Structure 1
Amino acid sequence: MSKKVITFGEIMLRLATPGYNRFSQTNNFEATYGGGEVNVSVSLANFGIPTAYVTRLPANDIGKSCQQKLNGYGVDTDHIIFGGDRMGIYFLETGAVARGSKVVYDRENSAFTSLKKGMIDWDAVFEDADWFHWTGITPAISAGATEVLKEALCKANQKGIPVSCDVNYRSKLWKKGHKVEEEMPALIARTNVLIGNEFDAVRVLGVDTHLSADVEYSNETFGKVSKQLMEKFPRIEKIITTRRGTINANYNTWEGILFDGNKVFKSPSYQMTHIVDRVGGGDALMAGLIYGFLTYPKDSQKTIDFAVAASFLKHTISGDENDVSIDEVDQVMQGNLTGRINW
């Protein structure tokens, strides 16, 4: 059996209005679980990659229910710790056409936000690890979560374990006195694979890209900015971004770009004419990238093609998780986009 991919972050209870109902219209919510890092673990488990998810859950029935749900997906939860008062919640109102989706967070004083150094045995977590993944959401949540993440990154670097990060900038989460530009650069300096874009380079990582605010981002601008990022953060080996063209809330175009330090690789562009749920699309991409890097490490083109195809499929599935198989992703990569019944 291959070694495990480790992901670390907060999982939340997701309460979504049914269909396209607004918060003011609904009398009930559809309850599931989700979070950037755990979504990656679930996708990888569906692809047959052993994966373990590390977090802190409340020691109550909701926390236990969440753990059981992850076990059902085949995700290793042995390193989840329990304690604290509650699970974080996010409320989702799905937009349609010209009305965008809305997210309301209720995650103050959650079990994860009260994490402290020393609570997680990272030597034990990384014993059979082949990859570690985190996102920029974790250091935005609390100072304690940031310190625990630093412990994990230092240990992963010591053990020579590849590290990936999705910058995932969320302005609503970063609080006064806890600034993204002060926290993220030191964390990215310990990372090998990065999902981010030209905006992230300026706003989050303090790189002067010399690009005007109204510039149209392109393969060329991405390659230039990626080189600047690699010069500032020499541990980074690959940088990936996505290009989403938004016609309306239900109709987007979608493609990805990968820079390996020498060359830019671009995926096919997909027309997503009926989006079911775009939440978790970036996480599905990250899982596809990790799968590609582990499965065909010398084929950057196939890696970005697989990742974008997997993410494309996620937009057709409700909930946070990308519940698809390798075969389904391969079918998309081969151009089978008709959606016909598989008799």
Structure 2
Amino acid sequence: MKILAFGEVLLRFTVPDHLLLEQSDLVQLSTVGTGVNLLGSLAHFGYQTVLMTKLPANPLGRRVAADLRRLGISDQFVGYSGGHLGSFFVELGHGSRPERVTYQDRLASSFCAADATTYDFETALEGVNYVHICGIALSLTDQTRNAVYTLAKLAHAKGIQVCFDFNFRMSLNTGNSHRAMKQRYEQILPYADVVFGSKRDLVELLDYPDRSDEECYAQFTADYHVTTFAGTRRTNDNQRKYFQGFMMHAGKLFQSHPREIRILDRIGSGDAFASGVITGLIEKWPIDKTLDFAVANSVLTQATLNDTPLFTQQDVFDYLASNGQNELIR
């Protein structure tokens, strides 16, 4: 089973020891991004993964490519151009203080500057079973938008399963009108088979009526002929936090059991959930099993520092078997 992801790679600088950025002269460097996180997780689950992106044509780009290979991700379709990579700083939350992310300029990156014509999508799709596209590309540049539209149309025409993640970020769209963003998402959704998102995406971005979850999801999947719509929600009960997944499939809404979470680092939690769902689809598991697996992978990831999930299928099943009371990951 082979999964291709298309998207940007970012450098993450994490401030250590729960310090604020102003308090520390040191940071921890890691290679991340939606595609990196998702594929890294799927590689640990035993699947063949490949990332298509652009990296700087300098030692930084080569270092990042080495990080991809270390995660088990093929860099066969990584191109090199330009000299800049987007980055962000993370200050970990603690107690009542939330986690804070500060982005550097990502729009000047090699990925954001690369035109669709510089990618060999035809060759990259050979032997691929699933393609994953992150919606953030719709918020970046004309070049990234044209590239994802081209890839989605081609993959769809070839009968390859297209997974699309809304990943809509208001912080990336302060200069874009609601109408423009809605049109961009409406343009790609007809080519998607599996979509990750939330009710908020449907109501606030696509202007769906604010009805019950099941009615809203049923209308969306019917409108765009989406086979699976999945996402997560967070709830609180006194001092405890819970994480839950849902999936709309074949006209029926399924919901997982809420699992208590103790958050060390919540970045990448959605990517961990998505990789779990894709695993269930690949393995043709029952939906309840798929949701439990996806939620557990995300819960484990949120209890781990950094974006990319590094757990095997057996790690996740051990967690589920012990109901989250594992004392040792083998």
Q: TM-score, normalised by structure 2?
A: 0.95
The residue aligned with 1:75 is 73
Q: For structure 1, list consecutive stretches of 5 or more residues without a partner in the other structure.
A: 212-220
The residue aligned with 2:223 is 232
In 2, are the aligned partners of 1:317 and 1:323 still within 8 Å (CA)? no
In 1, are the aligned partners of 2:256 and 2:292 still within 8 Å (CA)? yes
Instruction: Sort the Cα spacing of 1:334 and 1:229 in 2 relative to 1 into closer, same or farther, 3 A.
Output: same
Separation in 2, partners of 1:149, 1:339: 41
Q: For structure 2, list consecutive stretches of 5 or more residues without a partner in the other structure.
A: none
The alignment status of 1:100 with 2:98, answered yes or no, reads yes
The residue aligned with 1:204 is 205
Separation in 2, partners of 1:90, 1:205: 29
The residue aligned with 2:271 is 283
Matches within 5 A, 1:22-101: 22-101=20-99
The alignment status of 1:148 with 2:159, answered yes or no, reads no
In 2, are the aligned partners of 1:181 and 1:203 still within 8 Å (CA)? no
Instruction: Sort the Cα spacing of 1:89 and 1:251 in 2 relative to 1 into closer, same or farther, 3 A.
Output: farther
Separation in 2, partners of 1:304, 1:84: 41
The residue aligned with 1:332 is 319
CA offset at residue 251 of structure 1? 5.2
Instruction: Sort the Cα spacing of 1:73 and 1:126 in 2 relative to 1 into closer, same or farther, 3 A.
Output: same
In 1, are the aligned partners of 2:318 and 2:326 still within 8 Å (CA)? no
Question: In structure 1, what residue type is equivalent to 2:130?
Answer: W
Separation in 2, partners of 1:137, 1:19: 30
SS of equivalent residue, structure 2 residue 251: coil
SS of equivalent residue, structure 2 residue 171: coil
Question: In structure 2, what residue type is equivalent to 1:199?
Answer: R
Matches within 5 A, 1:99-138: 99-106=97-104, 107-138=106-137
Percent identity, please: 26
SS of equivalent residue, structure 1 residue 19: helix
Question: In structure 1, what residue type is equivalent to 2:230?
Answer: I
Instruction: Sort the Cα spacing of 1:170 and 1:177 in 2 relative to 1 into closer, same or farther, 3 A.
Output: closer
In 1, are the aligned partners of 2:203 and 2:210 still within 8 Å (CA)? no
Matches within 5 A, 1:153-172: 153-172=152-171
CA offset at residue 19 of structure 1? 2.3
Question: In structure 2, what residue type is equivalent to 1:224?
Answer: E
Question: In structure 2, what residue type is equivalent to 1:314?
Answer: T
Separation in 2, partners of 1:246, 1:88: 34
Question: In structure 2, what residue type is equivalent to 1:295?
Answer: E
Q: 2:250 aligns with which of 258, 261, 273?
A: 261
Matches within 5 A, 1:16-27: 16-27=14-25
In 2, are the aligned partners of 1:129 and 1:161 still within 8 Å (CA)? yes
Question: In structure 1, what residue type is equivalent to 2:94?
Answer: A
SS of equivalent residue, structure 1 residue 76: strand
Kindly tell me the number of residue pairs found equivalent between the two proteins: 327
Separation in 2, partners of 1:336, 1:261: 29
Could you list the runs of 4 or more consecutive aligned residues of structure 1 that deviate by over 3 angstroms after TM superposition? Answer: none
The residue aligned with 1:215 is none
The residue aligned with 1:319 is 306
Question: In structure 2, what residue type is equivalent to 1:233?
Answer: Y
CA offset at residue 197 of structure 1? 1.4
In 2, are the aligned partners of 1:8 and 1:38 still within 8 Å (CA)? no
The residue aligned with 1:302 is 289
Q: Deviations over 1:222-272 (max 9, x none)?
A: 2111111023212x1111121112469x95210101110322222121111
SS of equivalent residue, structure 2 residue 290: helix
The residue aligned with 1:216 is none
Q: Deviations over 1:99-145 (max 9, x none)?
A: 11111111131111102121111110100100001111111111110
Q: 1:252 aligns with which of 241, 247, 251?
A: 241
Question: In structure 2, what residue type is equivalent to 1:36?
Answer: T
Question: In structure 2, what residue type is equivalent to 1:29?
Answer: V
Separation in 2, partners of 1:253, 1:177: 33
Separation in 1, partners of 2:107, 2:329: 45
Separation in 1, partners of 2:91, 2:140: 22
Name the Cα RMSD after superposition: 1.7
Question: In structure 1, what residue type is equivalent to 2:146?
Answer: E
Separation in 2, partners of 1:316, 1:342: 13
